[in-house]
Chain A
């Protein structure tokens, strides 16, 4: 996607969006409400013509090669309706037909998808009796009917129970591993972080480079941010500085309840689990009173908040 712009009247919804989403990876689309995530996905899904710039989906232009691009794209909107009187199976069968799948193949595909999203037992029930989360899962299955190469999901996890979120994560992971390009938008960052490889930050219709130390390291690069806490912040930082490690204090304003005074934690880059093991061994040997060491969470959140600060 290169320099895509799109305005609605005087509202510039997209103002120069440029990014690539790799095949075989799950890419997160992150940004505040109204930053243009949905508009961006509409352009990619082939529903809106960008005012300028160009978009490519699976190498095809959704504007000039609409049907070919749409045949390779699965889109799940954030707010979508269901045909209340149709059963879950009929909805999927209809869409298989709408993508011109032959009857025999579509039946097998529909059964497979219903099992994938755990709706097999609801296959004969009208969509109106499905709960919000179940409808969401049906919507996901609908987007997957034609085995798209590119999957565009707008807030797919909203309304899902924890179990379904895990399923969604595993499903997206599997699809990405099968070579699918997955673009997921959400503003629930912890949830995105669990499932995505890359992140694209969107603010006021513009893509923003991920801040330094932020999210978006390529797979293969095994360096990760770890959160290390010790009873004595001073001892920890002193030792880290002495061994030449680059550390940053964690942003936790208040110490965790029950911590003795002087305790604290840092973030630092560690070369994978082996690096972490080495760190633990060396730190304990050096007499640092370690409390915990764990892969840092909330990296997306920190990156996101950093963006917000830049904006102010």
Chain B
């Protein structure tokens, strides 16, 4: 193939450019169109206000409940309470975000097609990629508006405890990326399915699959990855009668060992796990996260799960501190999970772009071009 400057030949490269070509101008045009169309409908503003009220109310309630349950204005406990409150608000924002976001993009293609506005955009010089990216960008900006509206409450939770402020930045970044992939998945579904209700449900199914189904599968496959094996156990000597001094020793015993290093990814794609692991809450001691820091607790568990069974078990019940210390498990899991989610989103985008390409040879069942 020779490179020519005339625009006549339908070479593969020009064809690819016609479909996948991206310009900031084109993406901005589509995104502005979508946002104007959406933001001006008052429902959206109402939804945002409701959101703020709900998050605010729940934050205050959680904060009050923590005070009631654990009592005291003891300053040594306030760090713990702050960490717990922060964890709760992060999970709340993420959970509600995952509930709201699919509705933002999951009807953007089939809805436009039903309204008769899609084909008129497709005949312009906007490439399919620009239309798809513009739509994702618009819904992502809308999702981020919800996220930004929740930052005051996240900040409040941080202010009550000792969680570092960098954690706020990390959480907002990670959650916004997760929501971006949900937006892109919704777009893909809306391009794939003719009816708006169907694509919304399917988007929720995908979100539910990563949030509930994958951890459930992790639990259900646990017996399958568990085998009886000979393991090193730091145990109390069998000769020890329960009185006097004793020194624990290594013994080899038959134990059921869960090889979660084979199934850890089922937990890793969970948005809550990703956020908890990436939140960067401090590890207070050698035992891991401080009390009350649910984010840190989940992080420690997941990182443990990923590394699988440790070289030795500590069953020196009488003197656990004598266990020869092993390297703390620190390999983060969230980059993998986040990448997996972003890959799902990218798949959604690719599907949408392919489905938006004109002229069409085949039409999805039950749809009209215009």
Contacts and interface: CB of A to CB of B under 8 A. Distances in A.
A164 to B, nearest CB: 20
Interface string A42-60: 1101111100000000000
Contacts, number: 100
Nearest to A73: B123
Contact of B36 (A8, A85, A95, A99): A85
Contact of B359 (A38, A47, A78, A85): A47
Nearest to B122: A47
Interface in A28-82: 38, 42-43, 45-49, 61-68, 70-71, 73, 75, 77-82
Contacts of A115: none
B187 to A, nearest CB: 18
Nearest to A85: B40
Contacts of B125: 67, 70-71, 98-100
A81 B116 contact: yes
Interface string A81-92: 111111000100
Contacts of A43: 359
A97 interface: yes
A90 B123 CA distance: 18
B249 interface: no
Nearest to B370: A77
Nearest to B15: A64
Interface string B12-46: 00010010000001100110110011111100000
A18 interface: no
B10 interface: yes
A49 B120 contact: no
Contacts of B90: none
A46 B123 CA distance: 7
Given A47-B369, A65-B8, A68-B7, A83 B123 contact: no
Given A42-B369, A66-B18, A99 B124 contact: yes
B363 interface: yes
A95 B117 contact: no
A74 to B, nearest CB: 9
A201 B154 CA distance: 68
A229 interface: no
A67 B29 CA distance: 17
A94 B116 contact: no
B26 A65 contact: no
Given A83-B36, A85-B41, A94-B29, A49 B360 contact: yes
A128 to B, nearest CB: 10
Interface of B: 7-8, 10, 15, 18, 25-26, 29-30, 32-33, 36-41, 112, 115-117, 119-127, 358-361, 363, 369-370
18 contacts: A42-B369, A48-B369, A49-B359, A61-B10, A70-B124, A75-B120, A77-B116, A77-B120, A77-B370, A79-B116, A79-B370, A80-B116, A80-B120, A85-B38, A86-B37, A98-B30, A99-B124, A100-B125
